[in-house]
Amino acid sequence: MEERIRKLLKELRQQAEFDRHEVVAKGHSDAVKLALFRDGLPAYLLRIYRLDTYSRRKNEHDFIRQHYTNGVRCQKPIALEAWPELQLCGLLLTYMEGESGEVVLPGLSSEEQILQGEAAGKELRTIHTVVPETEINGYERRYVKYLDKKRKFGELGLRFHKQSELEAYIERSFGLLRDSPVCFQHDDYHPSNLIFRDGRLEGVIDFSRFDWGDPWEEFFKLPKYTCAVSRLFAAGQISGYFDGKIPDRFWEKYNLFVALNQHATLLGSSSNGKVQQALEKIETTIEGHDFAGGGPPAWFRETSI
């Protein structure tokens, strides 16, 4: 890989001016990430992928450009390149300086955590203004995805806390999604992919997992990832998304999306040897949510926003 990267960097100098590079080890992306420096400062981020992902990377490039044009605080796409002889492709973006929310948020005051959460909610709302060019049946697509997770669960013999009750709730409640709108989903929107500078939200990174679906589905990431960093930020994100006027219908769908994600949480952990941790997290999540009543979860109520 090192030799192939050396060759593609040589070719890339025809597209962008830089004098050295450093590997970026942060994050959980499948991409090899390089920071490209000019005059001692990071100027670009190069994300390198297998060539067989080029079609998806092309879509990612185009959607990031659309978000950038729409005013989303994201990296500006500079170029998308393919190197067939190297079996690689690369997405070149401007570099966004700062630190991730995981690092910054715990050090902010309670008020600032809420305010920055509100800013993140507004960014997410703008991201959701992008809709598919061709019609997508979000209801059917999401139900098929759920059934596929259940099937894999059965094949692996996995079980989690109150699984039968949760699955019965999902079947009773799935009709909530029958008329759901479908929009662009970042699909990995949490503090690790939010960059801060001087304690303020600088922007959003890593759109590589993008998907299509109900805009409110993005919020199941709050109890899964964000609350462990800052519940106040998580609550602020919801408040900011709705300009402080959270519709009652939101909590019903939020609870359903949280329920739908529990199978995926355990499936993902079963492949990396963290099953017990996942089981404990699932139990905590289920006990902290009002699936029966359809109201806000305990973590949100405790923030008093």
Distance CA 23, CA 25 (A): 6
Among left, alpha and beta (phi > 0; psi -120 to 50; other), residue 60 is alpha
Instruction: Report angle CA 3, 9, 97 to the nearest 5 degrees.
Output: 120
What domains can you pick out in the chain, each with its CATH number? 2-94 (3.30.200.20), 99-301 (3.90.1200.10)
**Burial of residue 75, with CB atoms counted within 10 A of its CB: 0-12 exposed, 13-18 middle, 19 or more buried:** buried
Distance CA 118, CA 96 (A): 20
| Average pLDDT score, the chain | 96
pLDDT, position 272:
80
Residues in contact with 100: Cβ distance below 8 Å, sequence separation at least 6, in sequence order: 26, 191, 192, 193, 194, 195, 196
Name the amino acid, one letter, at 169. Y
Helices 231-241 + 110-127 axis angle, to 10: 40
pLDDT, position 270:
84
Residues in contact with 242: Cβ distance below 8 Å, sequence separation at least 6, in sequence order: 121, 250
Sign of the dihedral defined by the CA atoms of residues 135, 140, 144, 150, in that order: positive
pLDDT, position 184:
99
pLDDT, position 51:
97
**How much is the average pLDDT of 138-142?**
96
pLDDT, position 30:
82
DSSP 180: -
Instruction: Report angle CA 105, 107, 109 to the nearest 5 degrees.
Output: 90
| Position 265 pLDDT exceeds 90 | yes
**Burial of residue 32, with CB atoms counted within 10 A of its CB: 0-12 exposed, 13-18 middle, 19 or more buried:** middle
For residue 172, CA distances in Å to 177, 252, 262, 293 come to: 11, 12, 17, 13
Residue-wise pLDDT tens digits, 5-62: 888 998 898 888 999 999 998 877 789 999 999 999 999 999 999 999 999 999 999 9
pLDDT, position 28:
72
| Position 1 pLDDT exceeds 90 | no
Residue-wise pLDDT tens digits, 55-108: 999 999 999 999 999 999 999 999 999 999 999 999 999 999 999 999 999 999
Closest by Cα among 167, 218, 178, 160 to 194 = 218
pLDDT, position 2:
82
Instruction: Report angle CA 298, 183, 134 to the nearest 5 degrees.
Output: 155
Distance CA 242, CA 226 (A): 18
Beta strands in the chain (DSSP E): 20-23, 32-38, 41-50, 77-83, 88-94, 99-100, 183-185, 194-197, 200-204, 211-213
How far is Cα of residue 44 from the mean position of the Cα atoms in its chain?
Answer: 22
pLDDT, position 111:
98
Residue-wise pLDDT tens digits, 198-207: 999 999 999 9
